[in-house]
Amino acid sequence: MSTSKVEQAGGAGYLWVDDRVPASKYLKKQLGKVFPDHWSFMLGEIALYSFIILLLSGTFLSLWFKPSMIEVVYDGSYLPLNGVKMSEAYASTLDISFDIRGGLLMRQIHHWGALFFVAAISVHLLRVFFTGAFRKPRETNWIIGVTLLTLALLEGFAGYSLPDDLLSGTGLRIAQGIMLSLPVVGSYVSFFVFGGEFPGTDFIPRLYTVHVLLVPGIILALITVHLMLVWFQKHTQFPGPGRTQRNVVGYPLFPVYAAKAGGFFFVVFGVTALMGGLFQINPIWLYGPYIPDQITAGSQPDWYIGWLDGALRLMPNIEIVFFGQWNLMLNVLVPAVIVPGIIFTAMALYPFIEQWATGDKTHHHLLDRPRNAPTRTAIGAMSLSFYVLLWIQGGNDLIANTFKINIFVITWTLRIAIFVVPPLVFVITKRICFGLQRRDRDKLLHGYESGIIKRLPNGKYYEQHQPISPEERAVLLARAEAPLPLPMPEKYDANGIKQKGYGVKKLQSRLSHFFYNEQVPMPTAAEIEEGNHHESELTAERNYEIDDARTKALAPHE
Amino acid sequence: MTYLLARRRSPWATAFLLLLALVGIGGIYALASGSTQAEATAPSASTTQIDEGRKLFLEGCSTCHGLNADGAFQLDGTIAGPTLIGVGSASVDFQVSTGRMPLAAPGAQVERKDPSYSDEETAALAAYIGSLAPGPEIPMPDLYDTTGITPEELALGGQLFRANCAQCHNFAGEGGALTDGKYAPSLTETEPRHIYEAMLIGPQNMPNFPDSTLRPEDKRAIIGYIEALRETPNSGGIDTGRLGPVTEGIVLWTLGLGALIAVAIWIGVKAK
Ligand code: HEM
């Protein structure tokens, strides 16, 4: 009886609320919202959950961390630093590590969490890129994403710099070097940021505000917008049976998706905590306090800044001196400012570049399989190889020492590779994509290779093909025929007058050819019919000959 | 290494130390009485040992270092081995007992390997070279024995290590790459005596730290810190090689993200 009373009371309370804030209808609709399912759609979630973990563990740390450059003499329980003079920031980080219960675990969770955060964003970005999820109408969310990535890098670097240990200071010193390399304004920027000479006493407190307030605040706001856009624009889905541009096939948000997502949060939390408990990360007590004239072998940034460090290590030492007194530090400016600037700008603008080049202005809610957008996939793979090469160079000294290779050999190999490998990767990826497309086409026409070898009456062997499943068929059929490249514009109109905007149009057509110059045609419905019905043992051989000729005709360059 | 450790308590060790002491005294005397007198005084320390050393030297080292240890050239005019006059017994002891000498093959760097000479032979070689001219001598055990080191000394050792050694040998003595295929080796297993000698003489591409830059008590503190690095268990769990953020990144991308993506795929499969 009493439960029913409670129930009644609850029901009444709900009605009371619903009467004033009419949420019932809204909730019913929203909770029933359908989400498609694919493991790669969880990558963004890993980023989201890592961010929550970072907020929680970071708050714990902020209770004890002292962002101050005041010099103190350490007398905590880590004996090998006893009596050493250091900044309060460093000393308080030692305290968190050795004298505050659970402090070291929290520090390690926070740091592993940060590595997870950026890694998850990066992989999420790759998923969005390679599947074409950034296409109209999701360009805004792509730009928000790139901004989030940039902010995540900044946030991570700020965090890495806070404890004022030897690696922190070394990283900041490099950052200051980059500021100084800016032409004309360099030294002013550095003085402004550091509040005087490097390292000074102002910077750590400033950085602290940036790290715990400014950047997380902006990230939080942007994530909110990001997710709202996913909500309203609906999630994309991979092609499959019954999946179209106009529907979303999947599970309702409540309870299925919510339970999954909730469970996954605990998995992410669990793995991060496990890493924090099992693996040492950033042992600042071994690095020692930052002293500007010290450095250690193997000074490296966290993995996500590694490619920038690699770019710096890759660049030859070129410096131009004007009139004997003004230096243009190309050795720093190019790898640390110009190249990253170009990369991030290109990344942010990519959806628009592709749209313009292909002239494709339609909405896309079905994802591309990477093979079905060969040029895009090749661009992505090429960029990835560029990134990885810089990354490798970022660890050149460790590679040299571990594998006993001359460090100059590594650097010079990579200097050449950075120009040779990405174009090669581009070409190879494109070929692989077309190869896969042809295989898909064959599957549609003749089914898959069953592995059963049959012998024809005339003594010849052939492999029996079997029809593919309806699911696979739906996936394969979903590849949209790529449009024809935009035609080259006429330079002069009928009256012999030069067309307005001719140059721009020409460029657009060039780019369009770059994207679409080569295609594997989709089989027509009639062809598929034929392929299926005539696949009898006796005609198998003939079909092969025809198919062979057809494939050759379609791909004249091969 | 273990070979040497195992022999530490053998009766020969006492004899060896005695000899060292004698050579040391001889050396100090030589220093005090001026270098011209060195040849006259040093042999009196132990003529038989020096003779023995000279014999070993002629057999194993003179092709490169010259019959009188004053260096030799190859046929093409390049140096086969530098002069050893004045390098001191510490240099010989370090080079020979870490197996660096006799040089096996020319390369970017003189590699450490299993020693080719016994302790006595090494001592004889050292005595012979030490007798030629004064130079840094094999340190007395109390100089590098760090038992009973105080926390203050340890902290000093850490500071000196980070200021003078970490730039090449890494913050935890794990070693690091230098230019042109050269490298600063890992210090995680080097014997205290060799650490002391290395600082004293600065082998090959390493700068030397004579007592005027690092006092003997500083050297001992550094050795104490290096030993502490080996012995103190890792706070915070399994280390990733004590090589800094690069290996941490590798662990993240393989173990960490690997685990999460595996779970994501598993959840995805469950759905079907
Ligand atoms: C703070 C970091 C980020 C968080 C927490 C986050 C979170 C999410 C989540 C949970 C989703 C929905 C599930 C999914 O598709 O994986 C999503 C979708 C999306 N994200 Fe992110 N993301 C972040 C960074 C980025 C970045 C760096 C980019 C790209 C540059 C990006 C671009 C997108 C796009 C375009 C969508 C819509 C994808 C679709 O509907 O298929 N996000 N994000």
For residues B69 and B98, state if they share a domain. Answer: yes
Position A109, amino acid:
I
**Residues B20-56 pLDDT 10s:** 555 555 555 444 444 433 333 344 457 888 999 999 9
User: A470 vs A240, A249, A371, A441, CA distance in Å?
Assistant: 9, 16, 20, 15
| CA max distance for chain A | 95
For residues B146 and B122, state if they share a domain. Answer: no
Q: Is the CB of A46 under 6 A from ligand 1?
A: no
Of A15, A119, A116, nearest to A57 by C-alpha is A116
pLDDT average, residue stretch B89-96: 94
**Looking at A323, A338, A368, which one is the last position of a domain?**
A368
Residue A76 · residue A98 · CB < 8 Å: yes
**Residues A186-240 pLDDT 10s:** 999 999 999 998 988 999 999 999 999 999 999 999 999 999 999 888 888 888 8
Q: At B184, phi and psi to the nearest 5?
A: -90, 120
**Residues A43-62 pLDDT 10s:** 999 999 999 999 999 999 99
Q: Is the CB of A333 under 6 A from ligand 1?
A: no
The verdict on B233 touching A (C-beta cutoff 8 Å) is no
Based on the number of CB atoms within 10 Å of its own CB, is A12 exposed (0-12), middle (13-18) or buried (19 or more)? Answer: exposed
For residues B123 and B176, state if they share a domain. Answer: no
**Looking at A368, A390, A407, which one is the last position of a domain?**
A368
pLDDT band of residue A28 (cuts 50, 70, 90) is confident
Q: Please tell me the residue having the least CA distance from ligand 1 atom 24.
A: A145
Lookup: tokens for A7? 């129930």
Chain A hits for B151, Cβ within 8 Å: 79-80, 82-83
- Please check whether residue A516 lies inside any domain of the structure: no
For residues B102 and B158, state if they share a domain. Answer: no
pLDDT average, residue stretch A64-89: 94
Return the higher-pLDDT residue of B26 and A533. Answer: A533
Q: How many angstroms separate the alpha carbon of residue A134 from the centre of ligand 1?
A: 10
CB atoms within 10 A of CB B119: 20
The rounded mean pLDDT for chain A is 88
Residue A448 · residue A466 · CB < 8 Å: yes
For residues A158 and A295, state if they share a domain. Answer: yes
Q: What angle do CA A505, A507, A513 make, to 5 degrees?
A: 105
Overall number of domains in chain A: 2
**Looking at A368, A399, A416, which one is the last position of a domain?**
A368
Range of the domain at A475: 444-505+522-554
Q: Is the pLDDT of residue A417 over 50?
A: yes
Find the closest chain B residue to A309 by CA distance.
Answer: B246
- Please check whether residue A348 lies inside any domain of the structure: yes
Helix (H, G, I), strand (E, B) or coil at A274: helix
- Please check whether residue B102 lies inside any domain of the structure: yes
| Least confident window among A31-40, A315-324, A399-408, B258-267 | A31-40
Note whether A280 contacts B172, CB cutoff 8 Å.
no
- Please check whether residue A183 lies inside any domain of the structure: yes
- Cα atoms in the Cβ-side hemisphere of radius 13 Å centred on A196: 6
| Least confident window among A260-274, A393-407, B23-37 | B23-37
Of A33, A226, A232, A344, the one to substitute when testing ligand 1's pocket (max ligand atoms within 8 A of C-beta) is A226
What ipTM was assigned to the predicted interfaces of this complex? 0.85
For residues A222 and A346, state if they share a domain. Answer: yes
Q: Is the CB of A97 under 6 A from ligand 1?
A: no
Overall number of domains in chain B: 2
- Please check whether residue B148 lies inside any domain of the structure: yes
For residues A208 and A343, state if they share a domain. Answer: yes
Q: What is the 3-state secondary structure (H, E, C) of chain B?
A: CHHHHHCCCCHHHHHHHHHHHHHHHHHHHHHHCCHHHHHHHHHHHCHHHHHHHHHHHHHHCHHHHCCCCCCEECCCCCEEECCCCCCHHHHHHHHHHCCCCCCCCCCCCCCCCCCCCCHHHHHHHHHHHHHHCCCCCCCCHHHHCCCCCCHHHHHHHHHHHHHHCHHHHCCCCCCEECHHHCEECCCCCCCHHHHHHHHHHCCCCCCCCCCCCCCHHHHHHHHHHHHHHHHCCCCCCECCCCCCHHHHHHHHHHHHHHHHHHHHHHHHHHHC
Test mutation, B171, B232, B254, chain A, max A CBs within 10 A: B171
- Please check whether residue B33 lies inside any domain of the structure: no
| Binding-face residues of B in 115-174 toward A, CB within 8 A | 151-152, 154-155, 157-159, 162-163, 166-172, 174
Range of the domain at B100: 47-132
Helix (H, G, I), strand (E, B) or coil at A367: coil
- Give the nearest ligand 1 atom to A148 CA: 1
Lookup: tokens for A438? 């042809």
Q: How far apart are CA A174 and CA A168, in angstroms?
A: 10
